[in-house]
Amino acid sequence: MNRREFLETVAAAAVVPAFARQGVPANEWESPVFDLHFHLRPQPTSNLAHLDGAGVTKANLLTRGAVLEQVTALQAAAPGRFTWFNSYDVTKPDAEQVLTRAVKDGAQGFGEMKFHVAADGPELRRIYALAADLRVPILIHFQEVDHVANEGTWSTGFAKTFESVLKAYPKTTFIGHADAFWANVSADYRNEAAYPTGPIKRGGLTDKWLGDHPNLFGDMSANSCNNAMSRDLEFTAEFLKRHQDKLFFGSDCGCSDGHGGGVSQNNNPAAARMTGKCVARETLSLLKRSASRDIFHKVVWGNAHKLLQIPA
Ligand SMILES: [Zn+2]
Ligand SMILES: [Zn+2]
């Protein structure tokens, strides 16, 4: 779909009050829900279909490249329901200019940053510095193990080098996400699998760094977090209590309807446990079972509003 068709679809959707008719299920989760990790979909109505289907009140659109018109149109069609982050190839020389422009245009963060570079390499370092200058958070995908042959790795070296980054950029707000970030809640992780299983060995790096570094936060989206938080429920309850002010619910769900329709997790064979399921629903249910009402409300709603400095 080109830009004109997109805008026409938005206009049509705004005339037929489909969103208003469906509405947001008032209290399905007994708390409004903010999805920090929602990839902008080309069809405007499909964005709302996922939010409404999963009982999500607001979402943060993760986008890449030039998307201002699409985002503005979607915000106009569903006022108050969407914020956005922007990303851009960090290996390109104009990355800082493009990302600065996106923030001037209303983007409230950088992300999802998912590139085949080292987490402590020069390409990302300049973006860490820029995020501090512009006072926006940066959301990073850390992955050391291929999901499919030759996929390659993303923001590599998390376990070995990222603490030095956290120390070097104290004014940057880092939001960790994906396989390596979540697998490292367990102290015995050695990059042996994308989604390790079994009881959590206490004292993992991610757990420790969330406690030690005020500039590190966690994005609870995708199979990576759901898997980690499903391994050892005693650990999960304690972890949520410990880091209740530093965690954000997110889905990273690709399902069509907020009920597991279509394709979830991009047919990633390593994440087959999510096949036919909506990741948003799975993780919201897990969090609800594992946290007090107050902590659940912070993680699925309050914390994201504080982070983005928007009224809840
Ligand atoms: Zn990701
Ligand atoms: Zn879903």
Helices of type H across 137-232: 158-168, 179-183, 205-212, 222-230
Which of residues 44 and 37 earns the better pLDDT score?
A: 37
Order of strands across the sheet with 174-177? 34-39, 58-64, 82-87, 110-113, 138-141, 174-177, 216-219, 247-248
197 pLDDT more than 70: yes
Confidence of residue 5 (pLDDT cuts 50, 70, 90): low
Closest ligand (CA of 143): 1
How much of the chain exceeds pLDDT 90, in percent? 86
What is the distance in A from the centroid of ligand 2 to the CA of 169? 34
Model-level pTM? Answer: 0.92
The rounded Å distance from CA 142 to ligand 1 centre is 8
Looking at the predicted structure, is the pLDDT value of residue 70 above 70? yes
Compute the distance from residue 69 Cα to the ligand 1 centre, in Å: 24
* Å from CA of 276 to ligand 2 middle: 9
CA of 223 to the centre of ligand 1 (A): 10
> For residue 133, how far is its CA from the centre of ligand 2 (angstroms)?
35
Is 78 strand, coil or helix? coil
The rounded distance, in Å, linking the Cα atoms of 162 and 180 is: 11
Place of tokens 């047919």: 267
Neighbours of ion ligand 1 (CB under 5 A): 141, 178
Q: Would you state the pLDDT for residue 16?
A: 39
pLDDT reading at 26 higher than 60: no
C-alpha pair distances (Å), 287 with each of 186, 195, 297:
19, 19, 10
Average pLDDT over residues 112-134: 98
pLDDT bucket at 267, cuts 50 / 70 / 90? confident
pLDDT of 15: 42
Of the listed ligands, the closest to the CA of 139 is 1
> Ligand 2 centroid to 57 CA: how many Å?
14
Res. 14: pLDDT tops 80? no
| Mean pLDDT score across all residues of the chain | 93
- Kindly give the interhelix angle for 68-77 and 44-54, rounded to the nearest 10 degrees: 50
Tell me: pLDDT of 23 over 60.
no
133: left (phi over 0), alpha (psi -120 to 50) or beta: alpha
What pLDDT is stored for residue 7 in this prediction?
A: 55
**Contacting residues for 260 by C-beta, under 8 A, at least 6 apart:** 276, 277, 278, 281
Closest ligand to 221 CA? 1
**172-176, 216-220, 260-264: lowest mean pLDDT where?**
260-264
Mean pLDDT value across residues 33-59: 97
What DSSP designation does 274 have? G
User: How far apart, in whole angstroms, are the C-alpha atoms of residue 104 and residue 281?
Assistant: 34
- Checking DSSP bridges between strand 247-248 and strand 174-177, what pairing results, if any? unpaired
- Residue 258 contacts residue 55 (beta carbons within 8 Å): yes
Looking at the chain, the whole-number percentage of residues with pLDDT higher than 70 is 92
Tokens of 287: 């969090």
Number of H helices, E strands in the chain: 14, 8
Band of the pLDDT at 266, cuts 50, 70, 90? confident
Please name the amino acid found at residue 300: V
| Distance in Å, CA 43 to ligand 2 centroid | 15
Task: Give residue-wise pLDDT tens across range 268-297.
Answer: 888 889 999 999 999 999 999 999 999 999
Q: How far is the CA of 255 from the centre of ligand 2 (A)?
A: 4
Per-residue model confidence as pLDDT tens digits over 79-95? 999 999 999 999 999 99
Q: Look at residue 96 and tell me whether its pLDDT is greater than 90.
A: yes
For residue 245, the CA-to-ligand 2 centroid distance in Å is: 25
Whole-angstrom Cα distance, residue 174 to residue 167? 11
